[in-house]
Amino acid sequence: MSFKNAFQPIINNPEKHDSVLYYDENVIIIKDMFPKSVRHLLVIPRHQQVTKKHPLDVFNAFYNDFTGEELYEMIEKYVEQAKDLIIDNLKEKLDMKDEIILQDFKTNFIKAGVHSIPSLDNFHIHVITQDFNSPRMKNKKHYNSFTTKFFVPFDQLNPLYNEKYYQLTNKDNESYDSQSDVSSSSSETEKPDFIRLIRSKPVLENLIKSTSFKCTSCNKTFGNSVIKLKDHLNEEFEKKFSTLGDTKLIKINDI
């Protein structure tokens, strides 16, 4: 089996893999095999019709078992569960008691989303802390794939804000057809503000290569120097995680 299908054996038999933190009939939640931050998880749907869909299209379709909206709402709950796994783990490792600090950390420092050009075939969602303080983070692609528009936040995948899904749901909608005599200006005002995502592979690949390293915490830039960036990220890591507890207790994907 090729590397691009590396998730398929885990999807098929999650009980046989140590990387799996949670699974049921709908998803598996695993530790990323090459984590780019101290906590880096993946939410991977198991449904056969969903798993090979492109991440920018997966919620803009109808399936035998659910609509795109229903799928999004279901997966959204698992994304939150993955964030909670991270928070619960940090709480245990650091013996934390302050729930307000933990909730703020969850809201502002754990991000979920997908890569516009995925490296693996099975659809998966990254749930990752924003420290990028990992020995696996080695080059521009590793960093910029999470810190530029190459990385699409999960909430931007909501099909209710995607024009393709809007057209799909209204294509054969009788109530929509019955209003066909309404003026175009009126119907336009009823449409939601659609989210426009970059889909061009050359544009996205150039974005990865041409964007200077930029700290996600303070916005300081480091040109093309990965060494300077990593030194700075280590400082930011100590600053951010020291508010939670002893940073020496936090090891890469020790969850």
Successive 10-residue mean pLDDT values, the chain, 255 residues: 88 97 98 97 97 97 96 98 97 92 95 96 98 96 98 97 92 50 50 90 97 95 97 96 92 95
Identify the three-state secondary structure at position 170.
helix
Q: Which of 124, 126, 142, 232 is catalytic?
A: 124
pLDDT reported for residue 3: 83
- Residue owning tokens 């989303």: 113
> What pLDDT digit, counting tens, does each position of 168-220 carry?
988 755 444 444 454 444 445 567 789 999 999 999 999 999 999 999 999 99
Q: Please, what are the domains in the chain?
A: 3-163+192-246 (3.30.428.10)
Is 40 a known active-site residue?
Answer: no
DSSP 86: H
pLDDT at 193: 87
β-pair type (110-115, 125-129): antiparallel
State the pLDDT at residue 80.
Answer: 98
Half-sphere exposure of 71 (CA within 13 A, CB side): 28
